[in-house]
């Protein structure tokens, strides 16, 4: 299990993130405070407060998804 901090600033960012997550064959959760959303749910992520830093928890590895995580990673 890996955890990463990301920021999704625009609807296009969310769409790119969800598209990449949907291609993974393992579970991915995204959460802020006590709210946990399936990272493969576009509407779920759009319902979150995107002005805040989000935590992504991956239960597997995928090189292409790791590239997307790095793109949105918080330094």
Query: The pTM is what?
Result: 0.91
Q: How many domains does the chain have?
A: 1
Where residue 35 sits, what CATH number does that domain have?
Answer: 3.30.1340.10
pLDDT confidence of residue 59: 96
Q: What is the CA radius of gyration of the chain?
A: 11
Question: What is the C-alpha separation between 61 and 9, in angstroms, rounded?
Answer: 24
- Please provide the distance, in angstroms rounded to a whole number, between the alpha carbons at the two ends of the chain: 20
pLDDT confidence of residue 54: 95
Question: What is the C-alpha separation between 44 and 12, in angstroms, rounded?
Answer: 15
Flag residues of the chain having pLDDT under 50.
none
Find out whether 57 and 31 touch, Cβ atoms under 8 Å.
yes
| Domain span including residue 67 | 2-72
Q: Are strands 35-38 and 2-6 parallel, antiparallel or unpaired?
A: unpaired
């Amino acid at each position: 299990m890996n955890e990463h901090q990301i920021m999704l600033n625009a609807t296009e960012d969310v769409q790119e993130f969800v598209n990449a997550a949907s291609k993974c064959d393992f579970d991915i959760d995204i959460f802020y405070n006590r709210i946990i959303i399936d990272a493969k749910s576009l509407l779920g992520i759009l319902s979150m407060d995107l002005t805040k830093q989000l935590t992504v928890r991956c239960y597997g590895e995928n090189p292409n998804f790791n590239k997307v995580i790095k793109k949105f990673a918080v330094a």
